[in-house]
A and B are shown apart, each in its own frame.
Chain A
Amino acid sequence: MSEYVVELKNITKRFPGVVALKNMSIGIRPGEIHGLIGENGAGKSTLIKVLTGVHSPEEGEIFVDGQKVVFKNPVQSREAGIACVYQELNIVKQLPVTDNVFMGRAIKKGFLLDYPRMHAEAEEALKTLGHPEIDVKMECGKLGVGQQQMVEIAKAVSLDAKLIIMDEPTSSLGKEEIAQLMETVRGLKAKGVAILFVSHKLEELFELCDRVTVMRDGEHIVTKDISELTEDSLITAMVGRTLDNLYPKEFGVKGDVWLEARNLNEAGVLHDVSFQAHAGQITGFAGLVGAGRTETMRAIFGADKLDSGEIYVKGEKVTIKNPKDAIKRKIAFLTEDRKGQGLVLSLDVRTNLILANMKGFSNGPFLDKARIEKSGQENVEALKIKTPSLDEVTAQLSGGNQQKVVIGKWVNIDADIFIFDEPTRGIDVGAKIEVYRVMNDMVKAGKCVIMVSSELPEILAMSDHVVVMRGGRVMANVDRDTPHFNSEDIMKAAWGGELD
């Protein structure tokens, strides 16, 4: 009998032009929670797809319970006892829980579906997971995201899976739901089910996992017991170099107030929001999700309507009715939702780079091809955008490079005030550092940068001044050189506490 319930040995998977997995090995013990981490593009997804039978590797072997197996398709992997809960849930929201649990393998009695039995089995599976409260006859769309995920896991449980792969299972969950999920995962472990837990959040790994495997560039870097690892050693293993400085903060020269908001009000959303942002500084906006930070920025940029309030740009009172007005005032707004609001994914990099300044790149009604080409090349070079060419469709770029295209779009309007809303969300460590460097260059060039971020370490490391919001109100203003500039005090303000 093998030590591992599922084992991959020396797997190599090639795609045209890329080796996605190089001689990759990983073994998962029965009843263990095994963490898998790596930067975006490290090969985690390919590894999962090899395990679930979506991809067949060119070289290497797969063992289940010590028996060599070959998966030609996902059904064979499922029959071997491997199930996967994907990041984007595979749930048909219009259908009841039972139908989702038994999707693709309904139990029949003669020609008809055996609903009583399916309901009973679905209930049983949910009970095992510690969620007997979920009504199996309820439409999945009416459940919370956490409960929907439980339905997905119930699917795996009802399959009697030996190994359940969870791909970033907590990314769309709230705090409480994460706690519940962890409870469920521990329960599964206690029943002897092995879990492969893929996550970007280091603290979750430390809380949950028994062992962790780190991947980089399709290769196995290290597998160790979690007790032998630290956050630093994990990051070092992931990025392949020591990150002396994850946040390369540099300082500009504090200038005049370039953006000032006075008593911004939007019914039910913003209440008397006032703040000042200086040139040559990064003004961080801290707060919990839903604190009104994004809403404040959208209102300033003219994306949403304000009920009342005044906005001053470089000391001059301005009326901003729509994004066009804001751009005229040299305000740039990098939205938190890059794909939905920042880019036209179906179009090439070149067009996306001039999206906010088509007029500036035109002679009369016609676009100036030569100027666009030159500026595009400059953007690619200055921002280190990794793209085969300016003709590449933006959807094909990685998240980090897409983000750089959005930054390039705003650089090209020659903005003075840059509002960055969650600029490093969903991009890997290397790209994050490059985004910070771009912000540094901006403040050193005397621009005014505003950074909304939900990551407190990022706020503390990069900001010169922090505005803390809660429930649509400004709770505190903290300068970098004051004693309150620490995570405890800022967190306290974000939760509604008073700072003296």
Chain B
Amino acid sequence: MKKNTSAKELLQKLGTLLALFILIAIFCITMPDKFPKVTNVMNILKQASINCLIASGMLCCLITAGIDLSVGSNCVLCTCTIGVLVQNFGITNPVLLAICGLAVSALAGFINGTLLTRLDLPHPFVSTMGMKNVLWGLALVITGSKSIGFTNTGVDSLMWIGGGSIGTIRDAATNKVTFPGIPVSFILVIVVFILFDIFLKKSALGRQIYCVGGNAEAARLSGIPSKNVLTFVYTLSGFMAGMAGVVSVGRLASANGNAGTTYDNDAIAACIVGGASFTGGKGTIWGTLIGAMIMAVIRNGLNLAGASNDIQYIVIGAVIILAVTIDVVRNKVEANARKMAAQ
């Protein structure tokens, strides 16, 4: 039985992984001279990083049958906070800047959780949608609705997180780059995801997140402080949005209050494509990684193919619907098989 379930799990993961491979194959065949280049692969990893980080926190919210619609604004607020600290206060210590940004985002997440659990708002849709607008407005207020550039402001070491690479190889003779290096931001993603995997699978708090998502009342009556667990989840989601904001500093090289409009949807899509469900109780971090990679590969491939933004939106929308449809159909087949077995 144990083998059976893990085989099933593998198949489930394989489903989305297979979709990713098919996508890659299609782009490789149609654009053999552009897509399958090392430089481009590293580009995709870099492009996926922000979404991956945001999606990891979003996943936890979705497991509790909730949602965090404020992550995009929260990410931007973090970047803008750092921008203001650099521009107006002349702070350049990267550690201090990162801590300040992360603290602001975690606080915003904590407020999300508190609104939900202590004011008994009916659904996190309400609290986080409200906060989305509040945080967005705050980001615009503190920056005076102007973009702040980070280039040549003395924060290169902070920008290295989002823009730098490790292991760049140059040809000694010509000084030409032969291997662009692995993006620091993606290494960060891998480290974070491994920590999430351990956290969700092996720690008591991680399992409690699934319990609260599966049946909040049963969890409460079993002595699990459901409200605290939920507050933690939204704080974590805010913190991860903040981490994405820190990465944005180097990735976008600017703080712009109006960036990040697609972040919420991209993160939700990555989780859902990766096997999480709006009804809660399910989803894995590696599924989310695959989901985020699928999104990044589509964006990148279509860009290379010269498709305009509008076409990209249409394709991505279709892929989300298709992926979830496959999931629903698969669940139905599984449920039927179970029913047959049970009766």
Q: A residues bordering B, Cβ < 8 Å? A: 15-18, 20, 45-46, 301, 303, 322-324, 326-327, 333, 335, 340-347, 351, 355-359, 361-362, 365-367, 369, 388-389, 391-392, 396, 409, 413
Contact = CB atoms under 8 A, between A and B. Distances in A.
B1 A347 contact: no
Contact of B340 (A15, A335, A343, A365): A15
Contacts of B221: 301, 303, 323, 333, 335, 341-342
Contacts of B298: none
B71 to A, nearest CB: 25
Interface in B194-231: 198, 202-205, 207-208, 210-211, 214-215, 217-225
Interface string B1-21: 110010000000000000000
B338 interface: yes
B341 A327 contact: no
A15 B341 contact: yes
A356 B221 CA distance: 8
A342 B281 CA distance: 16
A413 B222 CA distance: 10
B88 interface: no
Contact of A344 (B2, B5, B202, B215): B215
Given A46-B343, A366-B202, A367-B207, A323 B218 contact: no
Contact of B218 (A326, A343, A357, A389): A343
Given A16-B337, A18-B341, 4 more contacts: A322-B223, A341-B221, A347-B281, A396-B338
Given A327-B223, A389-B2, A345 B215 contact: yes
A326 B221 CA distance: 10
A357 B208 CA distance: 11
Nearest to B217: A341
Given A358-B224, A367-B204, A344 B211 contact: yes
Contacts of A346: 214-215, 281-282
Q: Which 10 pairs across A and B sit closest by C-beta, in order of nearness?
A: A344-B214, A358-B204, A356-B222, A327-B223, A389-B1, A324-B223, A346-B281, A346-B214, A355-B222, A344-B215
- The residue in A17, A342, A366 that gathers the most chain B C-beta atoms within 10 A of its C-beta is A366
B173 interface: no
B205 A365 contact: yes
Contact of A16 (B1, B203, B341): B341
B120 to A, nearest CB: 15
Contacts of B95: none
A300 to B, nearest CB: 13
Contact of B217 (A18, A340, A358): A340
Interface residues of B, number: 31
B211 A351 contact: yes
A354 B272 CA distance: 29
Contacts of B329: none
30 contacts: A18-B341, A45-B343, A323-B220, A323-B221, A324-B225, A326-B223, A327-B222, A335-B221, A340-B217, A341-B215, A342-B221, A343-B215, A344-B218, A345-B214, A346-B281, A351-B210, A351-B211, A355-B211, A356-B223, A357-B223, A358-B207, A358-B224, A362-B203, A365-B203, A366-B204, A369-B202, A388-B1, A391-B1, A391-B2, A392-B1
A347 B204 contact: no
Contacts of A389: 1-2
B342 interface: yes
Contacts of A362: 203-204
Contacts of A17: 341
Interface of B: 1-2, 5, 198, 202-205, 207-208, 210-211, 214-215, 217-225, 281-282, 337-338, 340-343
A113 B337 CA distance: 39
A355 B343 CA distance: 28
Nearest to B208: A358
Contacts of A358: 204, 207-208, 224
Contacts of A342: 218, 221
B343 A351 contact: no
Contacts of B224: 324, 355, 358
A45 B342 CA distance: 12
A17 B340 CA distance: 9
A52 B343 CA distance: 16
A344 B63 CA distance: 13
Given A16-B340, A46-B343, A367-B207, A355 B1 contact: no
Nearest to A20: B343
Given A323-B221, A366-B203, A389-B1, A347 B343 contact: no
A344 B224 CA distance: 12
A333 to B, nearest CB: 7
- The residue in B204, B208, B220 that gathers the most chain A C-beta atoms within 10 A of its C-beta is B204
A361 B337 CA distance: 34
Given A344-B211, A351-B210, A396 B342 contact: yes
Contacts of B219: 344, 355
A342 B217 CA distance: 8
B162 to A, nearest CB: 30
A418 to B, nearest CB: 14
A385 B208 CA distance: 23
- The residue in A355, A357, A359, A392 that gathers the most chain B C-beta atoms within 10 A of its C-beta is A355
Nearest to A326: B223
A15 B343 CA distance: 6
Contacts of B211: 344, 347, 351, 355
A158 to B, nearest CB: 30
Nearest to A365: B203
A18 B343 contact: yes
A358 B202 CA distance: 11
Given A346-B282, A389-B2, A323 B341 contact: no
A362 B224 CA distance: 14
Nearest to B342: A396
Nearest to B214: A344
